[in-house]
Amino acid sequence: MASQVRRQVFLGTFIHSRSRTELEYLHDSAVCVDEHGVIVKVERGGCGGSGSGSGSGSGDTTSSSRLLQSLGWSEGEVDVVACREGEFFFPGFIDTHVHASQYPNVGIFGKTTLLDWLDKYTFPLEASLSDLGKARRVYTACVRRTLRHGTTTAAYYATVDVAATNLLADLCLSLGQRALVGRVCMDSEATCPSYYRDESAAESLERTRQTIEHVRAIDPGFELVGPVLTPRFAPSCTGEAMRGLAEMQREMDLPVQTHISENRGEVALVERLFRGSRSYADVYDAHGLLTGRTVLAHAVHLSEEEAALVRDRGSKVAHCPCSNSSLTSGTARVRWLWGRGIDVGLGTDMSGGYSPSVLEAARQAALVSRHVAMNGDGEGEAETEAEAESHKLTVEEVLYLATRGGAVVLGMEDRVGGFEVGKQWDAQLVGFGRPVRDQDGDGQQEEDEDEDEEDEGNVDVFGWEDWEERMAKWLYVGDDRNTKKVWVRGRLVHARRGRW
């Protein structure tokens, strides 16, 4: 199934995370991508091109010839893609928690919190997607929309329905988005609505196997699309279903995704439903679901004891700041989780979260970290000002969460998240348009001239900003208009009008 692309040489500025705290800026550089979409060479500096200010868009032919020679590639078989001045390549975003099935409800949550939100908005919509025409419409819109925002990898929740879940996997493959696709398991008669649940644990497991087999049929090596075991969350699952999924996990070494400790009402519900368990995390652990391949969404109200357990098991956390603020769930503490040795990525969590954009999730992660700084880490002890300030996340840190952090959370850190030889070319070309011009007179005429130009979005660059400041502007003011092109495994999967 590994579809081939033409060999490609990318020229210009490449920016990615060197570490959690630092971005690396590679100017005048080149990245060579082979016919399998794999990076085979990274030439750091000395490649001319836009980074040095030529802005030609055609690259530096001498250096690209030399590169081709060194790889034994001939010019005719290679596409050269060069940044324009001010543009840069950035790793594709990784959305570690998103409900494709809830996409039509983005922004619609009223004043609800988690449990009434599920009943009022979410379950009815999810159930309705057993209509495959509707599912196709919703899932196509969701995958296309997230690709436009530079999401090259998404960990999707679909619905209970097998056929609709399989359709989502088909669409990810055909539209070219790397994805984990999970059929939602929810079989508890006590808590799930009668119109939307698996009839039994056995059925839950059998239907899950059907979706895994479907994904295996369309992408045998799980190279672009893979299955993910998806117990919705402890309250909606029987112990039998959770144990069965854990067995399946061990048998096939599959990733697992679920929710944990999103909302205080939910935590109390888990306590009531699973009497005798020491904690929410302990419920999953007791059923064998806290594995090194488990992605736990939210983790807002984890105790120290739970954090230690999660760390010991090697499970990861999907931080969903838009959702947590919207549904009044709480403020997850990224610095606190990191400090306890837990890896963290970002999730849009549509439609608990209102935005399809991982860039928006990163922005809100920065803001939520400031709310943690203002209101404490919930540990009950007064913090010093320095301790409080330490919760704040930097531009560099939230962009790490959006890329490499997400890759680690989904167990894909060897394949995506940065620009190194051996990784796949999952990337976006980012740009801001021309710097704001000098103005003569009242500025009216220039406005008319602008009419024929591409809408380059809201980032106004004046020309005096350094690269760190440009990245800050992109994070806080940027949107999908700044994502000019998107590639997954070397394949161009989105380009803004006029940029093919």
Show the tokens assigned to 452.
């024929």
Instruction: Please identify, using beta-carbon distances, which residue of 253 and 469 lies nearer to a second copy.
Output: 469
Half-sphere exposure of 217 (CA within 13 A, CB side): 10
Q: What is the nearest approach in angstroms of a second copy to the Cβ of residue 301?
A: 11
Q: Is 141 in the site for a second copy (CB under 8 A)?
A: yes
Binding a second copy by CB under 8 A: which of 162, 295, 307, 475? 475
Q: In the complex, what is the shortest distance from the CB of residue 354 to a second copy, in angstroms, rounded to a whole number?
A: 4
476 touching a second copy, by CB under 8 A: yes
Interacting residues with a second copy between 378 and 437 (CB under 8 A): 389, 392, 394-395, 436-437
Q: List the one residue from 30, 106, 256, 410 that touches a second copy (CB under 8 A).
A: 106
Nearer to a second copy, 269 or 410 (CB): 269
Stretch that binds a second copy, among 52-60, 137-145, 213-221, 250-258 (CB under 8 A): 137-145
The pair of structure tokens assigned to 417 is 């998240």
Contact flag: residue 326 with a second copy (CB under 8 A): yes
Distance (Å, rounded) from C-alpha 394 to C-alpha 265?
A: 31
Q: How far is the CB of 111 from a second copy (least distance, A)?
A: 5
Write out the two tokens for 73.
């590639």
Binding test (CB under 8 A) with a second copy, winner from 189, 304, 379, 460 = 460
Q: How far is the CB of 472 from a second copy (least distance, A)?
A: 5
Q: How far is the CB of 451 from a second copy (least distance, A)?
A: 6
Which parts of 223-371 are beta strand (E)? 225-227, 230-231, 256-260, 294-298, 316-319, 344-346
b/e for 141-174, b at 16 or more Cβ within 10 A? ebbebbbbbbbbbbbbbbbbbbebbbbbbbbbbe
Report the candidate in 289, 288, 355 with the shortest Cα–Cα distance to residue 321.
Answer: 355
User: In terms of CB distance, is 103 or 284 closer to a second copy?
Assistant: 103
Going by C-alpha positions, the residue among 116, 201, 125 that lies closest to residue 158 is 125
Q: Which of 21, 62, 69, 458 touches a second copy (CB under 8 A)?
A: 458
d(CA 433, CA 451): 14
What span, in angstroms and rounded, lies between the C-alpha atoms of 166 and 18? 37
Identify whether the C-beta of residue 15 lies closer than 8 Å to the C-beta of residue 90.
Answer: yes
Nearest residue to 64 (alpha-carbon basis) of 80, 45, 86, 83: 80
The contact pattern for a second copy, residues 242-281, with x = CB under 8 A and - = no contact, is: ----------------------------------------
Question: Which residues are within 8 A (CB) of 276 and not within 5 positions of it... i.e. 6 or more apart?
Answer: none
**337 contacts a second copy (rule: CB under 8 A):** no
Footprint (CB under 8 A) of a second copy, residues 35-74: none
Residue 265, beta-bridge partner list: none
Q: Residues near 488 by Cβ (< 8 Å), separated by ≥ 6? A: 37, 92, 152, 153, 176, 177, 178, 224, 424, 426
Among 144, 216, 243, 278, binds a second copy (CB under 8 A): 144
User: Which range in 17-25, 281-289, 422-430, 474-482 contacts a second copy by CB under 8 A?
Assistant: 474-482
Quick one: 79 or 455, whose CB is closer to a second copy? 455
195 near a second copy, judged by CB under 8 A:
no
Interaction of residue 455 with a second copy, rule CB under 8 A: yes
Residue 137 within binding range of a second copy, rule CB under 8 A:
yes
- 355 part of the interface to a second copy, by CB under 8 A: yes
Q: Is 293 in the site for a second copy (CB under 8 A)?
A: no
Q: Rounded distance, CA 293 to CA 413, Å?
A: 12
Binding flag, residue 472, a second copy (CB under 8 A): yes
Mapping DSSP to helix (H, G, I), strand (E, B) and coil, where does residue 434 land? Answer: coil
Stretch that binds a second copy, among 33-41, 138-146, 202-210, 225-233 (CB under 8 A): 138-146
AA letter at 397: E
Longest CA pairwise span in the chain (Å)? 76
Give whichever of 217 and 421 is closer to a second copy, judged by the CB atom: 217
Among the listed ranges 55-63, 82-90, 365-373, 406-414, the one in contact with a second copy (CB under 8 A) is 365-373
| Token code pair at residue 269 | 């519900």
Span of 140-148, 185-193, 227-235, 337-345 interacting with a second copy by CB under 8 A: 140-148
Give the shortest CB-149-to-a second copy separation in angstroms: 8
Instruction: Please give the C-alpha separations between residue 209 and each of 43, 214, 245, in angstroms, as whole numbers.
Output: 44, 9, 10
Rounded to 10 deg, the angle between the 358-375 and 467-477 helix axes is 90
Strand locations in 299-450 (E): 316-319, 344-346, 427-430
Instruction: Select from 278, 284, 291, 174 the least CA-distant residue to 231.
Output: 284
Main-chain phi, psi angles of 231, to 5 degrees: -65, 125
Residue 334 Cβ, how far from a second copy at the closest point, in Å? 14
Binds a second copy by CB under 8 A, chosen from 20, 36, 66, 145: 145
Asked if 174 touches a second copy (CB under 8 A), the answer is yes
The three-class DSSP label of residue 492 is strand
133 binds a second copy (CB under 8 A): yes
Residues engaged in binding a second copy (CB under 8 A): 103-104, 106-111, 133, 136-138, 140-141, 144-145, 170-171, 174-175, 325-326, 328, 330-331, 354-357, 363, 367, 370-371, 373-375, 389, 392, 394-395, 436-439, 442-444, 447, 451-452, 455, 458-460, 462, 464-465, 469, 472-477, 479-481, 496-497
